[in-house]
Structure 1
Amino acid sequence: MKVTVRDDVKSKLPSSKYGIIHYKDIIVGASPQMLKGRIRLFQESLHLDLEDKDMKDIPGVAEWRSVFKETGTDPSRYRPAIEALYRRVKKGQFLEPFNSAVDLNNFFSMKYEIPFGIYDADKISGDVTIAVGDETASYEGLNGREIKLSQMLHTRDGEGSFGSPFVDSRRTAISEESISALHVVYFKPSMRKEECEEMLAAISEMFLQVHGGTSEYWVLD
């Protein structure tokens, strides 16, 4: 699978970097009890840390709000996924287990303060492009709403748009039937490439510990 960044993204976001992990021969199921416990404890700790913080004081949230502004998206109307997660946890609305892939994806996002997307690779058609949407770009989101992607950073394949650092689509959602997956990591623009590579290695290792299989990963900039 080839993944590229479109030229208009590079011109609008010259410091942006993206992590790509392609998993094969994985087994997705209910999260092991140890993982559920770790994620729950992490949210409880994060809840205490966020009590006296404003969202703008969290580096990852602040950087991704700036990214949204750079592409023409209002971050007060369309919040980066990491900000939405943090706001939930701050209110004590902890995430309930869904499946092992989604649970880990959310955990990584909260841990590293950046948006993540995970997709069933077999539901992706052809190559993938990271682009900024026009007036025609949209999809049905996981929240059941039509997500309009005009001026929003997103991923697209041969059938159209399927993911973004805002909310992902139903079309490529990962499930317990999935045996291959594509992980998209929206790094903080301030991160060095070496940091990004180290993060991808850690993410991939933990994901494979839970799901088995194999992976390959790389940084796009």
Structure 2
Amino acid sequence: MAKEIDNKGKNKEITKLLKDIQDMIKLNFIPTDLAKHELISPWRTVFSGFGAKPSKYHSSIEAMMRRILKGGKINSINKIVDIYNYLSLKHILPMGSDDLDKVEGDITITFARGYETFIPLGTTEEEEPKKGEVIYRDNEKVLCRRWNWHDCDQTKLSDNTKNVVIYVEGLPPVKKAKLIEVCKELIDLITTFCKGEADYYILNKTKSSVKI
């Protein structure tokens, strides 16, 4: 989580980090091996568990890597998004975010009941998540569908974002120490390039909530 940040404009150093990590992905991975990668296959298993066909619905990190390996690229968006996309690719962990000033009430990760509303990023049309799929939601709307598959439009980050929550997600074999390492790296980059104040919290089945 980061508060009172300056997210305006682009930064050449961050842009270069994002470009260089994509070049590294191209050199070290091939599309046919992604599904079996030790940090990607657990997400495919989890997606299958709540009814999302993993060959159709990819975790955010698998989707980014597949785009790169098919000749596409991850474009620069803004400083915060570029920072966590870089770290997501570097550590092969799904990451996402919400503008806290656009969130209504509490943020919860839960199972959809089938009547929630969701507006996909870049659109204005409402969808209804399928009952049983894992979603992030606040008190009024769905923030992300299929765990980390697709973000909503309402809480996307912009140049004017001042307060942000960033999700760093890990499934076994990822250890707590690894998540802490990534969170500390994230905080260092944010405070270096966006100023403000940042902190992290580790949530799991034994500590499932935090007040921010």
**TM-score of the two chains, using structure 2 as the length reference:** 0.87
CA distance, structure 2, for counterparts of residue 187 and residue 143 of structure 1: 27
User: Measured at CA, do residues 219 and 147 of structure 1 come closer, stay the same or move farther in structure 2, by a change above 3 Å?
Assistant: farther
Amino acid at match of 1:33: K
Structure 1 residues 11-160: aligned runs within 5 Å:
22-51=1-30, 53-144=32-123, 146=126, 148-150=128-130, 151-160=132-141
How far apart, CA to CA, are the structure 1 residues paired with 2:104 and 2:172?
28
SS of residue matched to 2:10: coil
How far does the alpha carbon of each residue in 1:49-101 deviate from its partner, in whole angstroms, 9 at most, with x for none? 12375221322221111111222222122211111101111012112211111
Higher relative contact order (CA 8 A, sep 6+): 1
Partner of 2:89: helix, strand, or coil? helix
Q: 3-state SS of the aligned residue for 2:160? A: coil
Tell me the SS of whatever aligns to 2:35: helix
- Alignment-mate amino acid for residue 155 of structure 1: Y
Corresponding pairs, count: 200
Q: Tell me the residue number matched to 1:169.
A: 152
1: CA distance between counterparts of 2:22 and 2:71?
A: 9
What RMSD, in angstroms, separates the aligned Cα atoms of the two structures? 1.8
Instruction: Specify the alignment match of 1:187 in structure 2.
Output: 170
In the alignment, what sits opposite 1:207?
A: 190
Q: Secondary structure at the match of 1:57?
A: coil
Of 207-216 and 140-149, the range deviating more from structure 2: 140-149
Instruction: Find the residue that maps to 2:43 and give its secondary structure.
Output: helix
Distance change (3 Å), C-alpha of 1:185 and 1:147: farther
Letter paired with 1:220: L
Letter in structure 1 aligned against 2:67:
R
Q: 1-side partners of 2:54 and 2:109: how far apart?
A: 19
Moved more, 148-157 or 30-39: 148-157
Q: Which runs of 5+ in 2 are unaligned?
A: 205-212
Paired residues of 2:61 and 2:92 also in contact (CA < 8 A): yes
Matched residues in 2 for 1:79 and 1:135: separation?
Answer: 21
Judged with a 3 Å threshold, the aligned counterparts in structure 2 of structure 1 residues 147 and 47 are, in CA distance, closer, same or farther, namely farther
Q: What residue in structure 1 maps to residue 208 of structure 2? A: none
Q: Which amino acid aligns with 1:152?
A: E
Gaps of 5+ in 1: 1-21
Could you say which structure has the higher strand fraction?
1
